[in-house]
A = this chain, B = another copy of it.
Amino acid sequence: MSTTPAAASGTRRTPTERPDELDRTDPARHVAESAEAFRNWGRWGEDDRLGTLNFIGDAERARAATLVRRGASFSLSQPFDMNGPQQGWRRRTNPVHTMLDTGTDAAAGTQGFPHGIGGADDVVAMPLQCSTQWDGLGHIFDRGMAWNGRPAGSVVTSDGDLVTGIEHAASAIVGRGVLLDLGRFLRPEPTDDDADNGAVGELPDGYAITTAELEACISAQGATSAVGRGDLVLVRTGRYARALREGWNGYAGGPSAGLSFTTAGWLHRTEIAAIATDTWGFEVRPNEFDVPAFQPLHQVVIPNLGLTIGEMWDLDELGDVCAQTRRYHFFLSAPPLPITGAVGSPINPVAIL
């Protein structure tokens, strides 16, 4: 691994797993340390295209199916339409859905079909990150390197992700889902704290969820929340619930609760297959550094751990049901749309309880 950037710099140190030990002026050092410590490059061979999704095997999937009791299914997707949160950052718009043929036309008799048949047809134009989605392994690079130690410039060109395109995960993302409802766990009662927005079940913007809190939440929720190898972990912060109540108000790209940079070790150690949140950016925003930094936890976990990240999921109804039944695990099917060479995918994940 002598070719990795951090190794080359000779500054091998133990990455911190506690926010109070972060040097808030040095994101580059922390990124380098965590990347070096938690890197999975080569773990699944030189040709790997799946990263931690490899942790889901047939056995895990078969066990996950046994979690289905009632047979109720829940879509975990936000809507895909022009009322979405996008404001144009990096040319990300909301989905533009237009009709090629309509019922109005059919009724007006302008379609020219025989024996009274009429039709409607439609088109969508959308950024793959516009609404509920997976980040593919080609979505983020660390100092010029993509997942598994490949040079970013030869992996993702204008022709798309030539190596780790999301189509390779087409059948992979089905398994045991576990909901960690941090919003409900940390905000079970109304609060008077002005820094909070005060709502039950919703973490305030800028709240950095730590490893200790993840583990405390698991303990509190009980045995069905145990997190381990191959699991698809869903972290609910309450940010989407607030957006539904208050309007988007910066949901896409603004402040939000999210995972602390220091959870990288936990994400690595637990050997989870993927993680998703109800926020735009998965990690806490603003981040925990006092100098310009951008999505530093992404930089560690996508290209180094090979972790697939889900964002903008709707976990609210699922949170209610899990709280009522005190069961926090379920069968989860969240296959990406196999758009060849895509570095992400819009999805409609379904939890079956």
Contact = CB atoms under 8 A, between A and B. Distances in A.
Interface of A: 5, 27-28, 31, 57-66, 68-75, 77, 79-83, 88, 90-108, 110, 113-129, 138-144, 146, 151-161, 167, 170-172, 174, 291-296, 298-299, 331, 333, 335-344, 346-348, 350, 352
B338 A110 contact: no
Given A71-B57, A75-B338, A117 B105 contact: no
Contacts of A341: 81, 97
A295 B116 CA distance: 11
Q: Count the copies.
A: 4
Given A99-B158, A120-B139, 5 more contacts: A27-B115, A77-B337, A91-B96, A108-B153, A333-B350
Q: Ordered nearest first, which 6 A-B pairs have the shortest CB separation? A: A62-B71, A107-B153, A103-B156, A103-B152, A65-B68, A61-B71
Contact of A138 (B28, B75, B120): B120
A69 B58 CA distance: 9
Contacts of A61: 68, 71-73, 352
Contacts of A293: 114-115
A128 B99 CA distance: 10
11 contacts: A62-B69, A65-B65, A88-B94, A93-B94, A99-B157, A104-B104, A105-B158, A107-B152, A120-B152, A121-B128, A121-B129
Nearest to A153: B107
Contacts of A91: 82, 96-98, 100, 121, 123
Contacts of A95: 339
B122 A344 contact: yes
Contacts of A114: 27-28, 291-294
Nearest to A151: B107
B294 A117 contact: yes
